[in-house]
A = this chain, B = another copy of it.
Amino acid sequence: MTERYVLRLSCPNRPGIVAAVSTCLFEAGANILDAQQYDDEATQQFFARIEFDAAAETFNVDALRDRFAPIGARFGMDWNIRDMRQKRRVLLMASRQHHCLADLLYRLRGDELNMEVTAIVSNHPRESYEGLDFGAIPFHHVPVTPETKAAQEAKLQELVVATNTDIVVLARYMQILSADLAEKLAGRCINIHHSFLPGFKGAKPYHQAHAHGVKLIGATAHFVTPGLDEGPIIEQDVEPITHRDRPEDLVRKGRDIERRVLARALGWVLEDRVFIDGAKTVVFRD
């Protein structure tokens, strides 16, 4: 019986990284199954993702971590070794439009997304989600107005801490996070924006797209940063439209793009395939 792990790391590039890492893995009894490495020559940053398995009876992942630590230190790595069965803890935020929320919950039940949902948070009450079965997942109605925004964000942050949440997903959550909260969640908060960024930032992107007469509409999953709809892009997709499509048709057609783009992006994050590289991402796709 073997078990599967993933090592991910990034560090300034210099010769010897892969040699040191793979020798360490080999000596610990690991067998590499799938690996990708990439050196961004512009930022001089090196990225690697290594999937390996090892005999369940003899392999000790903590021993590997101990053995790996000096290598991580030597190369100045940001690194992590994870048992692939271990689930990330994810908090989902939604507003009135619930197609992305529903889709993620459906995929969760179908074992497509290796995560545990710690909470569903909305600025709309539970009744807005009729027909959606949240199972045992706690639901929090946290309304927000200009006056209460600071308090609401404080509450949200408490919840992230209290639930030990790793990743926050804005699943068509239509409120803009404050710069402060965006900073605090940096690198672990994903948004789905309903346009092909950088086109059509901000409100009502499908109406903007309609007014411009574009022939494709799209969606973008990205990390949240203080700049509106500006964080590093994880995934994008588009679909053709025609002159026959009214704004409401774009909204409807767009829902399909949004939900698959968000699901893909989140899936890759959960599988340790996504790295932030300055204003961009490195994604070792499956």
Contact = CB atoms under 8 A, between A and B. Distances in A.
A192 to B, nearest CB: 14
Contact of A252 (B22, B99, B112, B200): B112
Interface stretch (A85-93, A162-170, A276-284): A276-284
Interface stretch (A73-81, A118-126, A152-160, A208-216): A208-216
A112 to B, nearest CB: 6
A55 B86 CA distance: 42
Interface in A244-264: 244-246, 249, 252, 255-256, 260
The DSSP consensus for interface residues of chain A is mixed
A19 B16 contact: no
A222 to B, nearest CB: 9
Interface stretch (A60-68, A142-150, A178-186, A234-242): A234-242
A19 B23 contact: yes
Nearest to A41: B33
A25 B34 contact: no
How many copies make up the complex?
4
Contacts of A32: 15, 17-18, 37, 39
A135 to B, nearest CB: 7
A286 B212 CA distance: 19
Contacts of A216: 196, 218, 236-238
Nearest to A35: B37
Contact of A212 (B26, B109, B198): B198
A27 to B, nearest CB: 8
B102 A243 contact: no
A242 B110 CA distance: 22
A131 B220 CA distance: 29
Contacts of A29: 15
A199 interface: yes
A283 B34 contact: no
Contacts of A133: 131-133
A204 interface: no
A19 B13 contact: no
Nearest to A256: B260
A124 to B, nearest CB: 16
Contact of A106 (B26, B40, B102): B102
